[in-house]
Amino acid sequence: MKTVALGKTGLTTAELGFGAMYLPRVSPEVSDIIIRRALELGVTYFDTASAYQDSEEKLGRVLSRRDKDFVITSRSINYKMGLAAFRQDFEQSFERLKLPVIDFYGFHAVNQPRELEMAMKEPLSFLKEQKANGRIRHIAITSHNPKTLTDALLTGEFELAMFPFNVIEREPLDGLLPKAAELGIATAVMKPLAGGVIDSKQLALRFFFNHPAGVVTPGMMSIEQLEQNHRVFAERSPLSAEEMGCLEDEVAVLGREFCRRCSYCMPCPNGIMIPFVHMLHMKTWGKPMDDDVAYTIELAKRMLPALEKCTACGACVEKCPYDIPTPQRVKDLIQMLQSV
């Protein structure tokens, strides 16, 4: 696999990184096997976060027993709750990972300007102290909003920026990626498969050989996914114009308002499983009836009493980095389910 430099930090990594967001879905034993295989295949960059349930713990089970031949990033979203909560997450990351030093530690989901302001106060001073005393090597920031993230990079405080970038979400090409390159800031791609909504996964990953963007970290939770992704990055074959056209045709039907299943909108105060609502909506709304659609509608019918609890409070819309109109989709589904 190609080796990429992580900005001006002096660190390098294989271009394919490991997104550990989905590790909580597998047992510790399975997770151990996947992480060991990733290392065997030459994967050296691991991305996790305190919000990803036991993901840090699972990485720590394997990585803490190795010589330091990998790079790890973790982050906390609790800068939004003040320094005490952020500090607690920070210490917890060390306990879970069982590592003496974390390469990159940072702020998770800094999407809005007011969130950047919060991060830049005591939480940033705290991370600078931790960097000075050697517990972390570099300070990172992640965001779903290229404009906020570009503003953050211009402060000169961050050494790694992580953001969604894929064939559907290409905004980082306009300002963020060139600015990061100009400033020598490392870049890490999240959601390279747009949250799992692209069926042509290999083509979607090959998009990054046409548009290199640092380390690419698809979420992985099986050996099969890992080995498939590794094969694509080992062959490193850019998309032809024809293949790019096929991929663009496939994603055109999704538009921009599609759920990336990130769960930032959760929990719903009324217990509605919002990512599942969007999956049901995507698979049924406006689709001609066939066996698959009929099956999904039957599944959705069981959710009708839960859907009817939606008060359209808008809390989910406020938390969604993509402005997905969840209350409207819930309403659409209720209407459809009541009419079939």
CB atoms within 10 A of CB 119: 24
Say if CB 93 and CB 102 are below 8 A apart: yes
| C-beta of 42 vs 327, nearer to ligand SF4 | 327
User: Taking contact as CB under 6 A, which single stretch among the options 15-23, 117-125, 196-204, 313-321 is the one that binds ligand SF4?
Assistant: 313-321
**CA 136, CA 149: separation in Å to the nearest integer?**
21
Closest by Cα among 56, 40, 44 to 13: 44
**CA 14, CA 3: separation in Å to the nearest integer?**
4
| C-beta of 19 vs 275, nearer to ligand SF4 | 275
Task: State the minimum distance, in angstroms, from the CB of residue 161 to ligand SF4.
Answer: 20
Say if CB 312 and CB 327 are below 8 A apart: yes
What x-and-dash track marks residues 236-275 binding ligand SF4 by CB under 6 A?
Answer: -----------------------xxxxxxx--xxx-x-xx
46, 86, 233, 322: which one contacts ligand SF4 (CB under 6 A)?
Answer: 322
Stretch 178-217 residues interacting with ligand SF4 (CB under 6 A): none
**CA 248, CA 198: separation in Å to the nearest integer?**
10
HSE-up of residue 160 (Cα within 13 Å, Cβ side): 31
Task: State the minimum distance, in angstroms, from the CB of residue 323 to ligand SF4.
Answer: 8
| C-beta of 103 vs 115, nearer to ligand SF4 | 115
Amino acid identity of residue 70, one-letter, is: F
| C-beta of 245 vs 314, nearer to ligand SF4 | 314
| C-beta of 65 vs 302, nearer to ligand SF4 | 302
Task: State the minimum distance, in angstroms, from the CB of residue 111 to ligand SF4.
Answer: 10
Q: Which residues, in sequence order, are CB contacts of 2 under 8 Å at separation 6+? A: 14, 15, 233, 236
Task: State the minimum distance, in angstroms, from the CB of residue 144 to ligand SF4.
Answer: 9
| C-beta of 243 vs 332, nearer to ligand SF4 | 332
Closest by Cα among 74, 57, 60, 54 to 162: 74
| Max CA pair span of the chain | 63
| C-beta of 200 vs 263, nearer to ligand SF4 | 263
Q: Which residues, in sequence order, are CB contacts of 307 under 8 Å at separation 6+? A: 272, 277, 330, 333, 334, 337
198, 239, 279, 316: which one contacts ligand SF4 (CB under 6 A)?
Answer: 316
Under the criterion CB under 6 A, does residue 333 sit at the interface with ligand SF4? Answer: no
Task: Return residues touching ligand SF4 (CB under 6 A).
Answer: 259-265, 268-270, 272, 274-275, 278, 310-316, 320, 322, 324, 326-327, 330
